[in-house]
Amino acid sequence: MSNAVFDVLKKVTTATITTMLLKKGIRRCWMNGPKPLVPGGGRIVGPAFTLRFVPVREDLATPESWSHPISTRAAIEDMPEGVIAVADAMGVPSAGIFGDILCARMTKRNVAALVTDGVLRDRAGVLASALPVWCAGVAAPASVNGLTFVGWQQPIGCGGCAVFPGDLIVVDDDGAVVIPQNLVDFVAHEGAEHELYESWVFSEVENGVRLPGLYPPNEDAKARYAAWRKARS
């Protein structure tokens, strides 16, 4: 992804992105569950670095497993700068998959954000780490209480969406969306144009214009928008 596309997508809302992907027939792109732990933090864009949990297996999900080669600790050390870590926690609400120390390490490694359909623990410490987090809530018990970590950089499901390593993730106050790699350029181009059109529509609504024929536009609205757009350039 070019820097230009990256900069464009930082200005496109997740709501607009879902609409653009709907044009391509993709309805399952908004993750059901992840919400900003701290609203109002702005929009973040980055490639997905995936982590996968499966249901708890008591012989594998133990405190000792945290020192194994396949562990959340090892996965964090493999994360490049700028990625958004996306963790498939199966929506389990009673096992905090990350806490303050792991989030602090992710911040040190310049990970852009963490997204999960599960929950975190150590809320105060996670907030202090300054890692932007989108999650389904908080819980005191550790991950091994309800989940087994099995690997990273594999295709996963998070919040009802299929996420592949390298897919583009965009997060803001409306949640988290996944853009398939082959549709990034389309979403950036169409999304930017859609945002511009909506800004014009908003000004029209403020001026008392009726919605029918305006959104979606009829031929008259298209012509007036084209004239407005030309006057701006």
Global pTM reads 0.93
pLDDT band at 3 (very low <50, low <70, confident <90, very high): confident
Query: Is the CB of residue 152 less than 8 Å from the CB of residue 71?
Result: no
User: What ranges do the domains of the chain cover?
Assistant: 27-179, 186-232
Distance CA 190, CA 117 (A): 28
Q: Which CATH class is domain 27-179?
A: alpha beta
Distances (CA, A) of 132 to 57, 99, 104: 30, 13, 11
Q: Is the pLDDT of residue 66 over 90?
A: no
Q: Is the pLDDT of residue 6 over 90?
A: no
88-138 per-position pLDDT tens digit: 999 999 999 999 999 999 999 999 999 999 999 999 999 999 999 999 999
Q: What is the pLDDT of residue 225?
A: 94
Q: Is the pLDDT of residue 47 over 80?
A: yes
More confident residue, 30 or 215: 30
Mean pLDDT of 159-187: 97
